[in-house]
Structure 1
Amino acid sequence: MIAVACMRMYRRLAAAALVSVACAASAPARAEWPERPVTLIVIAGAGGGSDFTMRLLARELEANLKQPFTVVNQPQASGVVGMTNYTRAAPDGYTLGQLSPFAQYRLAGQASFTPASFTPIAQFNADPAAIHVAQDSPLKTVNDVIGQLRKDPASLKISCGGTCNASWDIPFLSLLMDQGVEVAKVNLIPAQGSAAGLQELASGGVDIVLCSLPETDALASAGKVRSIGVMSDARLERYPNVATVAEQTGKAYTGGTWRAIAGPAGIDPALAVTIEAAIRKAFDSETFQKGMKERGFGAVWRGREDLAAFLVEHDTMTTEVMQAVAAKN
């Protein structure tokens, strides 16, 4: 009886094993990313540096991966809308977005982003902040700006883009604080990206725009905009006539923005590695590197692990600066 029972159990187990093998054989293999179009959300308007660099990267990804990479501009609420949309998307690698300075949103009460809100993939760009005025502006140097703001902090309309507590303006506000300006009274005006701010500058609506140098190329060539200082350690090769802030004030002030690709929290690490490798291939391509250089954008690489550590540093530094500004107020 025991032998018969054992034989029956063996047959049942064998049958179950055959069913399992059959199911496994019929189940589709996990598809390689990407098997369908990918959406890339830009958190700034069309025509600016974020738009250009993200589209340049998207073109390379499309060429390499043979799938559309659709760039969608969502600058509303200074980029909060775009960042919110991709961090709330399914963590499947098919909705990714621009990751740039984000800590200011939480500190200003606009959103709740922290480093844990994202799956960092790769950084591909970094650029120093610069100070721009209209071509016919009486402001000729950074010291002219500082001097006027010391006398009357609210006398100049300063377009900073985004939340006015981000990559371009935090270094500038640190400079003003250090130079004795009452930053609580400075007239900061948000714009939906650098392109919008520069158009306002050219039309006389604002006195100063804070953004990168490459973003001014078209209006500078048209004789509408003039750059009076860059917040870098040395003059940029492409812009040798733009003096550093350190040259003009006698003290080094550096800072700027960075751009990266990220997805919502929870992307499978293996998938994140696959996406990172695709972005690295696009980044290393001759076309991408040439396009960045021709437009004067810094091609700077950070992989996913280094970027994750950098996000924590960014969050900490931004918190310290904004608390200092608040304390000054």
Structure 2
Amino acid sequence: MLKQTRARGVAALVLMAAGTMSMATQSDAAWPTKPTSLIVIAGAGGGSDYTMRLLARELEASADQPISVVNQAQGAGVVGMTTYVNAAPDGTTVGQMSPFAQYRMLGQADFTSDSFTPIAMINMDPASVSVAEGSDLTSINDIIAKLKEDPTSLSISCGGGCNASWDIPFVSLMLDEGIDVAQLNLIPAQGSAAGLQELTSGGMDIVLCSLPETDALRDAGLVRNVAVFSGARLDRYPDVPTVEEETGRSATGGTWRGIAGAAGMDADLVGEIEASIKAAYDSDGFQTGMKDRGFGAVWMDSAELGAFMREHEAQTERVIDALNP
């Protein structure tokens, strides 16, 4: 009888320990501890929407707290960035950090790297050039030749805000080809998905965006990718040539996505959020989801992202100044 009592006591201790371990595992994610908003600065259906929702799903799974993904694409992303820049710096509202320097240089907003608290980078992808299936433009060289004849002849969707991640490498290439880039018909869109829909309906001649964002329409036979701004062909898209292969010019560039908050966030809080995002980034669900859709999973911590953002400002200013003498 005494042995049975001791056995029951040991079993109870084991169960209590297991419960404590389970509670500790759930609380390992120090953030979010409250319902949180994640602002996406693009519309639903594009690459930004996909990557941010994928991250939010993994964060919720480890923290057991709801994360509301809010799409605010208005003003080519200015509205979304304004929302989380003006939020309380308490970690309950964070947002997508992507190319931002062009807004100040074009008079759309006054963001600088000091406007944000950088937290982490999770994604980087090269820009690509896509046309509608059946278009007479079958290569990047066809596009160059057409624009040399008449720089205003093509409607070009920036896949988001113009003078940003997708069109800067394209415009830089046209500049190198001697085209009067000031006359290019660059048209902003509410994200890449909206630009691609315009392409398939005949409202655009070209869309500049990442390759993964074209997957569904390409697989449906509606869109054709003619070139990618990367140093080598991407493993997932071996049939898409690089711009350098086609033109002989080294031309790379694209976008990047991370998480930031309002300026002035507490350093300890930033560390907690960064750790939670890193755990979500390292998860099988996030890595598999990114790989399945062809998005590049690239990690930078808070300090690395902050340095990268300052480099982005300097590079963007140099390019825009060259295009707008």
Q: Could you tell me the TM-score, scaled by structure 2's length?
A: 0.90
Taking the aligned partners of 2:263 and 2:242, their CA distance within structure 1 comes to: 38
Deviations 1:151-210 (CA, angstroms, capped at 9, x unpaired): 100000000033310000001100000011110111011100000000000000000000
Please tell me whether the aligned partners of residues 39 and 72 of structure 1 are also in contact (alpha carbons under 8 angstroms). yes
- What corresponds to 2:217 in structure 1? 219
In structure 2, what is the equivalent of residue 80 of structure 1?
Answer: 78
Within 5 Å, give how 1:59-208 maps onto structure 2.
Answer: 59-208=57-206
Task: State whether residues 123 and 302 of structure 1, in contact with CA within 8 Å, keep that contact through their aligned partners in structure 2.
Answer: yes
Are the aligned partners of 2:148 and 2:179 in contact in 1 as well (CA < 8 Å)?
yes
Q: Which residue type is aligned with residue 287 of structure 1? A: G
- Aligned mates of 2:66, 2:161 — CA distance in 1: 31
The aligned counterpart of 1:245 is 243
Q: Is the 8 A contact 1:77 1:162 kept in 2?
A: no
Unaligned 5+ residue runs, structure 1? 1-31
For 1:308, which of 291, 306, 309 is the aligned residue?
A: 306
* Equivalent residue number for residue 278 of structure 1: 276
What is the 5 A alignment of 1:45-60? 45-60=43-58
Q: CA RMSD in A?
A: 0.6
Within a 5 Å distance, the mapping from 1:25-36 to structure 2 comes to 33-36=31-34
Could you tell me which runs of 5 or more consecutive residues in structure 2 were left unpaired when the two chains were aligned.
Answer: 1-29
State the SS of the aligned residue for 2:324.
helix
Question: Are 1:105 and 1:163, in contact at CA under 8 Å, matched by a contact in 2?
Answer: no
Higher alpha-carbon Rg: 1
Q: 1:133-160: per-residue Cα shift (whole Å, max 9, x none)?
A: 0001000110000000001000000000
Q: Distance in 1 between matches of 2:308 and 2:182?
A: 29
1:78–1:161 contact (8 Å) kept in structure 2: no
Distance 1:169 1:152 in 2: 18
Could you say what secondary structure the match of 2:251 adopts? coil
Q: Please give the per-residue CA displacement for 1:27-55, whole angstroms capped at 9, x wherever unaligned.
A: xxxxx543210100000000000000000
In 2, Cα distance between the equivalents of 1:85 and 1:164?
A: 20
**Aligned sequence identity (%):** 65
Aligned counterparts of 1:47 and 1:162: Cα–Cα separation in 2: 13
Counterpart in the other structure of 1:298: 296
What is the TM-score normalised by the length of structure 1? 0.89
Aligned AA (1:177): L
Cα offset for 1:252?
Answer: 1.1
- Alpha-carbon separation, structure 2, partners of 1:291 and 1:309: 28
Distance in 2, Cα, partners of 1:290 & 1:179: 39
Deviations 1:262-283 (A, max 9, x none): 0000110000000000000000
Q: Give the counterpart letter for 1:95 in structure 2.
A: T
Match of 1:8 in 2: none
One-letter amino acid of the structure 1 residue matched with residue 314 of structure 2? T
Q: Secondary structure at the match of 2:170?
A: helix
Mapped to 1, the partners of 2:296 and 2:283 lie a distance apart of 15
Deviation at 1:61, TM superposition (A): 0.2
Residue equivalent to 2:24: none
Contact 2:31 2:276 in 1 (8 A): no
Q: Secondary structure at the residue paired with 2:37?
A: strand
Tell me the amino acid that sits aligned with residue 205 of structure 1.
G
- Is the partner of 2:42 in helix, strand or coil? coil
Per the TM alignment, residue 251 of structure 1 is displaced from its structure 2 partner at its CA by 1.4
- Aligned partners of 2:123 and 2:297 also within 8 Å: yes
SS at match of 1:197: helix
Amino acid across the alignment from 1:162 = G
Q: Secondary structure of 1:238's partner? A: coil
Deviation at 1:73, TM superposition (A): 0.2
Output one character per residue of 1:213-236: Cα deviation in whole Å (capped at 9) or x when no partner. 000000001111000000000000
Number of the residue aligned with 1:210: 208
